[in-house]
Structure 1
Amino acid sequence: MKLKSPIFEQGELLPAANPQHGGESPPLAWEDVPEGTASFVLLCDDPDADGGTATLWMLYNLPADLRSLEAGIADDFAPLKGAAHGINTRGNCRYDAPQPSCHPRRVYYRLYALDSRLSLKAGIARGQLVRAMEGHIISEASLTTVVGSAHTA
């Protein structure tokens, strides 16, 4: 499985005009999905956050036929057919962009193909999601970008 974005390549700095700098999620797309995929989970982490790795975004139960997400996925994303947000490190059920800092930040997007849908309500914590995924991951893909520092944005 391969995860990509139309606005940045693996390891590249996001463009200054990218919506992520305003707090919106970037557009993402994936391909080469394995047979037997019943749903997807998307996790987004900032390992360079002050105080340790921050989870910026969790989406789960994304439909198996979905192959992309537009920029700026909002709290109300009914077209995603039952998908749900989990609670990120800041306590929000949405995408939260990395906070500006004195140094560039790496941001990891990880997509997991699961062999089932998860029986979880919306707004769960990361630990609950990770435990529920155990034994159901059939493929995963990742994409890394760098968000400019407060001095380069």
Structure 2
Amino acid sequence: MPVDVSARHANELPPLEIHDVPGDAHSLALLLEDLDSPLGEVTHWLVWNLPPTTQRVDSLNLPSQARTGMDAFGKVGYLGPVPPEGCHHYRFRLLALDAELDLQAGATRSQFEHAASGHVLAEARLTGALCMPTPDHGS
């Protein structure tokens, strides 16, 4: 992943292209997870109720009906990757849902998963790595 998307730099969502959404989808959801956190899978971003016709999502292009959830750090919105050092793998998950979710903005990942349970028609994943230099503790 480009370092610009990290929380230490521009903290901007990289542009994501969406293709081949099932015809019976009523909405889409996107998640960004850190797969290598010592805390387990950490949610960096969560958004739902994207229209199924959405073809591109980026920091400047989020549809007005979309709702953004709370990340693992208690904040609502996008928090770019922020590995303390070394490499972490980050996974974007796109979910095609058979309904819009009746869930308020700011909902937690647990609330989202409960609301989305039984509504997932398809899922796509994109995984990238971001590596930060390891501090030199010997000098």
Identity percentage of aligned residues: 33
Counterpart selection for 1:138 from 121, 127, 137:
121
The reply to whether residue 43 of structure 1 matches residue 27 of structure 2 is no
Q: Secondary structure at the match of 2:114?
A: helix
Q: Tell me what 1:101 maps to.
A: 84
Structure 2 unaligned blocks of 5 or more: 135-139
Q: Tell me what 1:120 maps to.
A: 103
Counterparts of 1:67-82 in structure 2 under 5 Å? 67-70=55-58, 72-73=59-60, 80-82=63-65
Distance in 2 (alpha carbons) for counterparts of 1:55 and 1:25: 14
Which moves more between the two structures, 18-27 or 119-128?
18-27
Q: Secondary structure at the match of 1:131?
A: helix
Distance in 2 (alpha carbons) for counterparts of 1:107 and 1:15: 12
RMSD over aligned CA atoms reads 1.8
TM-score, normalised via structure 2 length: 0.87
Q: Tell me what 2:43 maps to.
A: 55
Larger radius of gyration: 2
Contact 1:110 1:141 in 2 (8 A): yes
The reply to whether residue 84 of structure 1 matches residue 67 of structure 2 is yes
Contact 1:100 1:150 in 2 (8 A): no
Contact 2:69 2:77 in 1 (8 A): yes
Structure 1 unaligned blocks of 5 or more: 1-13
Q: Tell me what 1:4 maps to.
A: none
Displacement of 1:15 in angstroms is: 3.3
TM-score, normalised via structure 1 length: 0.79
Equivalenced residues, count: 133
Displacement of 1:103 in angstroms is: 1.3
Q: Tell me what 2:10 maps to.
A: 22
Distance in 2 (alpha carbons) for counterparts of 1:56 and 1:23: 11
